[in-house]
Amino acid sequence: MTDYEAAILDVDGTIVRGGALIPGADQGIHALERAGCDRLLVSNNPTTGTDHYGDRLEPHGIDVDPTNILTSATLSASYLADTHPDEVVYLVGSDALESILTAAGVTVTTDPDDAEVVLGSFDTSFSFGTLWESLRALENGTPFYGTDPDVTIPVDGGSMPGSGSILAAMEAVAGREPDAILGKPSAIAAETALERLESDPRRTLVVGDRLDTDIALGNRAGMTTAAVLTGITDRSDVENATGDLAPDHVLESLGDVESLL
């Protein structure tokens, strides 16, 4: 048995990197299962729904029920559907995110003059024209949200720009920050995860590779945090981390999580 009743696990950089399973990740997940720890995968990927990671992990022998997965896309969709019902959302984001929003009942527009809400996210077609339209959409105090703050995304061979870099450009032209970030490390993400797990934060473990999202989310919500060194964060980052960014534990990989159980 273990002191933990549940675990929140990051995905990219913690379980997988690009299309490959990170060595030891499957052993770590199975160790959590043997310890009787419920698990929830929480990803800041704003282009995927709940089915994506189940399909992605199944070939590696990891079975994940879609109800045990949250992404910044699904968090954003549910939040906007609940808090801005019947309002039109101007989206800077992917076609995949648009589909997830639409499926949740959110009305999406490409016309900035129709914007009642603005959502910024990862968008490979982001351009000067998009930025100009964003400026128009954000005039007059239009509610402004971001799916996630990740400036870069780990991929095979390095990193690529993420939602945070696009949000930074939108912030610059609008002269204001988003009203809220809906993925990690927001209180919205933490509360949703704990509700899904039905767990006490004091008995919940968060494992992830990003100090500013995974570790900050857990620390702010009163959970125990463990940083893995298989993604964005290296040991020097951990040594220099302070406050909400400082993890309780450091693991070489998710495969070492059994040492905490």
Give the model confidence (pLDDT) of 121-167 as tens digits.
999 999 999 999 999 999 999 999 999 999 988 677 778 899 999 99
Q: What is the pLDDT of residue 2?
A: 84
- 101 CB-contact burial (10 Å; exposed 0-12 / middle 13-18 / buried 19+): buried
**Are the C-beta atoms of 44 and 80 separated by less than 8 Å?**
no
- Domains of the chain with CATH codes: 6-44+184-260 (3.40.50.1000), 73-181 (3.40.50.1000)
What is the percentage of the chain residues whose pLDDT exceeds 90? 85
CA-CA distance, 10 to 210, in Å (whole number)?
A: 9
Give the mean model confidence (pLDDT) for residues 78-82: 97
Q: What is the pLDDT of residue 153?
A: 80
Q: What is the pLDDT of residue 116?
A: 98
- Supply 156's token pair: 């095979």
Give the model confidence (pLDDT) of 17-38 as tens digits.
877 899 999 999 999 999 999 9
CA-CA distance, 182 to 91, in Å (whole number)?
A: 14
Its pTM stands at: 0.92
Q: What is the pLDDT of residue 1?
A: 63
Q: What is the pLDDT of residue 98?
A: 98
Give the model confidence (pLDDT) of 214-255 as tens digits.
999 999 999 999 999 998 899 999 999 999 999 999 999 999
Sign of the torsion formed by the C-alpha atoms of 95, 100, 103 and 105: negative
CA atoms within 13 A on the CB side of 62: 26
Range with the lowest mean pLDDT among 46-55, 73-82, 201-210? 46-55
CA-CA distance, 174 to 113, in Å (whole number)?
A: 15
Can you tell me whether residue 21 is helix, strand or coil?
Answer: strand
CA 216-54-222 angle, to 5 degrees, is: 20
For 114-128, give one letter per residue: b (16+ CB within 10 A) or e.
ebebbbbbbbeebee
